[in-house]
Amino acid sequence: MRISIVNPNSTRSMTDTIALAARQAAARGTEILAYQNDAGPISIEGHVDGALAVPGLLHALAIAERDGADAHIIACFDDTGLEAARSVLECPVIGIGEAAARMATLVARRFSVVTTLSVSVPILEDNLVRAGLASLCASVRASELPVLALEADPEAAMAKISEEIALAITKDGAEAIVLGCAGMAEFAAALSREHGVPVVEGVSAAVKLMEGAAALGLKTAKRGGYGAPRTKHQGFAYPEGMVAQAREPA
């Protein structure tokens, strides 16, 4: 089984971290194909970054499907380009935001999301509504940490995230926590031990969900909303500079 994971931003160190987390979560016999959108922004924080990342993301996903991937993961908690990806690909696709939230509902009745910046909160709230999970979410909290700060000072970042987790549990009634950024993946186990609640990170959750979907032989429905775009949209003939150079990390 081959599962692709695509980082929609262009930060190589984050791609490497995401790929490592995915490979650690994968079952024996699952091959993780990791790609990066080198034409994308260095991080995705808000609507504008997300919109700029979509063309290169779709191109990278198309390459992954041609490379034989049986399922795909979009490694941005905003689930950047997810609906478009499901419309142009045959194999199942999930974003790490939806994956983590769905996994949290298996172990708790109410979960909270702790993300990076406030600008992302409305996006995540809208995504939970779309996925039918908003009623199970106690809160979406922002740590006010820029995405790249997670790598620059991991210890300080984890301390700030921990503060928000404590508030989500005591003030919002959260029974589980969802970490709202791919760059937070390495913090999950330590934060779960510290707070005594399940802490779910989206990369691992997405790998396990896509392993199941691929094992069942599922394909994305092509009737209705995820129907393939008409011929005028095929070929991904993006303007100069918008095409991702998708590659597997070293």
- Amino acid of residue 162: S
Which residue segment(s) compose the domain that 186 sits in? 98-201
Q: Apex CA 213: angle with CA 220 and CA 198, to 5°?
A: 120
CA–CA separation, 70 and 91 (whole Å) = 6
CATH number, domain at 108? 3.40.50.12500
- Number of domains comprising the chain: 2
Instruction: Indicate whether 240 belongs to any domain.
Output: no
Give 156-198 as a DSSP string: HHHHHHHHHHHHHHHHH--SEEEEESGGGGGGHHHHHHHHTS-
Instruction: Indicate whether 68 belongs to any domain.
Output: yes
pTM, 2 dp: 0.89
Answer whether 8's CB lies under 8 Å from 80's CB. Answer: yes
9 secondary structure, DSSP code: S
Q: pLDDT tens digits, residue range 75-131?
A: 999 999 999 999 989 999 999 999 999 999 999 999 999 999 999 999 999 999 999
Q: pLDDT tens digits, residue range 202-237?
A: 999 999 999 999 999 999 999 888 887 766 555 545
